[in-house]
Amino acid sequence: MCSRASRVWIAFSSYLTSFFFPPAAGFAAAFFFAAFFLAAIIPSFFSGFASDGPPVRDPCATRTTLGAAPETGGSADVRSKRAIRGGGLLEERSVGGCSLEWAIRRDRQAGETRSPGDPAEPAGGRPPAGGFERSTCRNPTGEVALGPRAPLPIPGSRQAWYLPALRPFRNPALDPTYVSEINRDVKPAAPGEFAPVSLGPILADPPVVLAPMAGITNAPFRRLCRSFGAGLYVSEMITARALVERNAKTMHLAEFDPDESPRSLQLYGVDPHYVGEATKLLVGEDRVDHIDMNFGCPVRKVTRKGGGAAIPAKPRLLESIVRAAVKNAGDIPVTIKFRMGIQDDWMTFLETGRIAEAEGVKAIALHARTAAQLYDGEADWNAIGELKQAVTSIPVFGNGDIWEAYDALRMMRATGCDGVVVGRGCLGRPWLFRDLAAVFAGEAPPDPPKFGEVIETMRTHARLLCEWISERVGIRDFRKHATWYTKGFPGSTKMRDKLIRIDSLAELDAILDEGDPEMEFPPSAMRVKRGKKGGTQKVQLPEGFRNDLQDATPPEAEEPGDGG
């Protein structure tokens, strides 16, 4: 039905064109002018679109982030337009040829002053809280859609984050040979089976987190993973004291890509003072949107000084560290990650979970192994279920042995946990996040990539690293990734022998050119363990550590570890 303005314009156009066109053509011409006016002039006049360019941060607008389609590889040309409509923020983006659009409604506190550039309140009062997003991306491989999703109401909050939720449709059924025996009967998620997880103002949909891993989950790796699918991508471990002292290397590691959001950082500290000061710095300088804390590192040089996985064994010390972070974080959500305990006869995870819950932590994650286990054997998912039953007011995430997308669903169904944390399973396989997005959306994941696609992913990863830290350092850092990408492919041993010696991107390209791009991904490689080697340890602790476990005195020094 035409609006009154439309009818007036059509009538006016008919009158105007009668002077220039015969009567038979005048009516058609009027409709032409009316259509042009409605389609082009009116939207441009009222929308207030800015010129093409990257979105700028509006401190009073609800923030939204949207992931690129899998085909873009994270490096596609991104163009965006912004407009204010009815007190909400509308943004359109073109990512790799895909049209993406979402709308956001602001949620403002009563009596809050308007910041410069903030749109005026619409007539009729305060807009509803939360927001929604919608998007459709058509490409040669099918359709990828995002949303629509229900708004997330956050009373009194100024921000609401929506993590990208890639929902692949019409995926070809996964070849059964790529489904391990243990997952043969696992079905994709049913509609509404797994709810998004709220971490304060962050909505994780699907509830998937990239585990912080030292020397691995830097900005280039996070960017690569984000290009494949949805998730909350956490930085590698940042040491609190080095951050407070503004160590140059630490400050670089704590940086995020301009388009990375939410900005999620893992903080490690053993002293409540430095943890509190580091949190103040991160929040006060608007460097993060989420802080995760590491209490799971099992590395000997860390535990022998009473740090890492040893801290939960002293509950009063743990309590004071967590309290310092939460107190200084303000509205920024704090989460913690920890292990089951020191060893089989010294478990700490249930008390750790209760302390976190009492101190205001927004979610907890359990790596279902002890410090003595390191990364050996199988993760004990039963412990995740126990923790979920003991901690009921905040989300519980499970970590350990997520090698295939179906493992995540199997863990959540078996334990009742709210989400999963993915660590070694994505090493050399960042497309695991694409597969996870698919199964949580109720779809079968696609087949793993052929070697040609793996090669292109390797080239992209290596170039991102070299751009981030220099070619000399970046290419050497990529050596370990190269072994993970190629592990399991027939005849790849000789290639890996060359890859672990590369010193330039040119050398990498020359070696990869020798590979067969049509080689299928070997089914036997689906559960090949990458990263940390097997084997257990006797956990090294400070002398007299067990004499007074209620002692809250911080250890003398901080040592960087591996994130646990």
- How do strand 346-347 and strand 341-343 relate by DSSP bridges? antiparallel
Residues 178 and 526: beta-carbon distance below 8 Å: yes
- Return the pLDDT at 562: 56
Beta strands (DSSP E) in 448-503 are: none
Helix/strand/coil for 469: helix
pLDDT tens, position by position, 326-346? 999 999 999 999 999 999 999
In this prediction, residues 233-250 reach a mean pLDDT of 97
Structure tokens at 23: 């009567």
Q: Which of 345, 265, 341 is nearest to 298 (CA)?
A: 341
CA distances to 23, 35, 267, 435, 527 from 306, in Å: 91, 73, 17, 39, 34
Out of 98, 137, 297, 466, which one is annotated catalytic? 297
pLDDT tens, position by position, 434-453? 999 999 999 999 999 999 99
Helix/strand/coil for 564: coil
pLDDT tens, position by position, 52-94? 333 333 333 333 333 333 333 333 333 333 222 222 223 333 3
Top-confidence residue, 531 or 32: 531
CA distances to 102, 116, 147, 151, 166 from 136, in Å: 10, 33, 9, 19, 10
pLDDT tens, position by position, 131-156? 323 233 323 333 323 333 333 333 33
Confidence of residue 560 (pLDDT cuts 50, 70, 90): low
| Annotation says 2 is catalytic | no
Over 90: is that where the pLDDT of 128 sits?
A: no
Top-confidence residue, 60 or 287: 287
* All structural domains of the chain with their residue ranges: 45-110+118-162, 196-444+540-547, 451-525
Q: How far apart are CA 519 and CA 484, in angstroms?
A: 16
- Return the pLDDT at 563: 55
pLDDT tens, position by position, 194-233? 999 999 999 999 999 999 999 999 999 999 999 998 789 9
Q: What percent of the chain has pLDDT over 90?
A: 65
Over 50: is that where the pLDDT of 29 sits?
A: no
CATH number assigned to the domain covering 196-444+540-547: 3.20.20.70
- Return the pLDDT at 7: 46
- Return the pLDDT at 556: 76
Give the angle subtended at the CA of 274 by the CAs of 271 and 279, to the nearest 5°. Answer: 120
3-class SS letters over 80-136: EEEEEECCEEEEEEEECCEEEEEEEECCCCCCCCCCCCCCCCCCCCCCCCCEEEEEE
DSSP bridge partners of 234: 264
Q: Which CATH number is 451-525's, of 3.30.70.20, 1.10.3430.10, 3.40.50.150, 1.10.1200.80?
A: 1.10.1200.80
Over 60: is that where the pLDDT of 320 sits?
A: yes
Cut 0.85: pTM above it: no
Residues 362 and 200: beta-carbon distance below 8 Å: yes
Residues 128 and 105: beta-carbon distance below 8 Å: yes
- Return the pLDDT at 469: 96
